[in-house]
Structure 1
């Protein structure tokens, strides 16, 4: 794949919060056709990397390119970002939250949105205010809002956070079912590796803001002879 084909490319990326370097020279190239597991303990730089790609934070060193351009207003139309924090307006109903998202993005797929609401068991909650939803339902709503876009770059920050175990399999199936292999990259930042690693085509381990491992997921399992979860436990022991 040549340089013009990378959807996301970071080179010697640095991001600081005061004196703390959250990212320290991160080099990553992400192309279409992969679900990438971005894993590591809290404080490893996962969320910061996603926010820089999404254009919510500016690099303090190095560079990031999104389809060959620096993150900004123009690149936001190519990036669907689901933050870990609860960013929903609590006074809105589920339907109003979906309609607001549809009105501010240019790639909304109404048919997919309806299918996701039903698959994620939110279709009967359309008139329910967000403030009356459980934490797990709010997490499912955020995922539906993100996956209803046709963006080539999908960034999910801890999408299973707060979701009850019985619902997690449904979330993962929704993610796989909506993935468009020929035109899209999904970056899934998580420490819930045991439940999500079956989706990974590639896995990137971050540690203190640096890339520790970047490898094909199956090749990594074969090299270590164990699961990604077990490898993670060994690497970060």
Structure 2
């Protein structure tokens, strides 16, 4: 494993009874880049992220993070945001922030509170009273307020209004630096392609295309969104 490599996936497969969710995936993720994990719903994006995060067990293959096999140690260094709303509705936002502080040693409470103030998420509001846009912004803010080197955001733009999507993309951009690696899964490519360094097209559990975003644009003569439409036209 090279010094630049953060994540290596070798011959990874996941099957649920008779359904194959991931089929012999091989992938290398370098440090200090923003990756787009792109594909329609049902392509295997969430399954792949949950295996990397240590929440699902693969059927076959290996996953190495900084050269270490998946364990409680690797799980602790990944800041993972699932696509579903996992927060208790009767909690106030400030209680969720406190929960994160208690749960994660690397959580930066001051950073989270500053971000929430900047993006106008009132910490006195109950989760159940927040709009889908505010829920989306809160989830991303909490995930990015951990001080680690590996972040995974599963469909952060899903079900979120256009203005909130802009805020979320801005949050990701501002939180990124050369010591952080971010993987973003999405099927909403047009809004997010401008911040992606590298793209991974996942189709029916297989990697259809993977490479540097700018090199692919140049080689194929089209945008990442155009490539997406070409790859998934009949999906």
Q: What TM-score, normalized to structure 2?
A: 0.96
* Alignment partners' CA distance in 1, 2:90 and 2:203: 39
The Cα of 1:41 is off from its aligned counterpart by 1.3
* Alignment partners' CA distance in 1, 2:59 and 2:43: 17
Counterpart in 2 of 1:187? 183
Counterpart in 2 of 1:226? 222
* Alignment partners' CA distance in 2, 1:79 and 1:112: 18
1:30-179 matches, within 5 Å, as 30-122=29-121, 125-179=122-176
Instruction: Please give the per-residue CA displacement for 1:131-185, whole angstroms capped at 9, x wherever unaligned.
Output: 111111111111111000012110000001121101211110110100121x211
Q: What TM-score, normalized to structure 1?
A: 0.95
Instruction: Please give the per-residue CA displacement for 1:202-230, whole angstroms capped at 9, x wherever unaligned.
Output: 00001111111111000111112111111
8 Å Cα contact 1:113-1:145 kept in structure 2: yes
The Cα of 1:70 is off from its aligned counterpart by 2.2
1:64 partner SS:
strand
Unmatched runs of 5 consecutive residues or more in structure 1: none
1:3 partner SS:
coil
The Cα of 1:5 is off from its aligned counterpart by 4.5
Instruction: Please give the per-residue CA displacement for 1:31-51, whole angstroms capped at 9, x wherever unaligned.
Output: 211000000111111111100
Unmatched runs of 5 consecutive residues or more in structure 2: none
* Alignment partners' CA distance in 1, 2:6 and 2:85: 27
8 Å Cα contact 1:120-1:171 kept in structure 2: no
* Alignment partners' CA distance in 2, 1:43 and 1:142: 22
* Alignment partners' CA distance in 2, 1:62 and 1:5: 22
The Cα of 1:118 is off from its aligned counterpart by 2.0
* Alignment partners' CA distance in 2, 1:204 and 1:192: 14
Aligned Cα RMSD in Å? 1.2
8 Å Cα contact 1:119-1:174 kept in structure 2: no
Counterpart in 2 of 1:235? 231
2:184 partner SS:
strand
8 Å Cα contact 1:23-1:208 kept in structure 2: yes
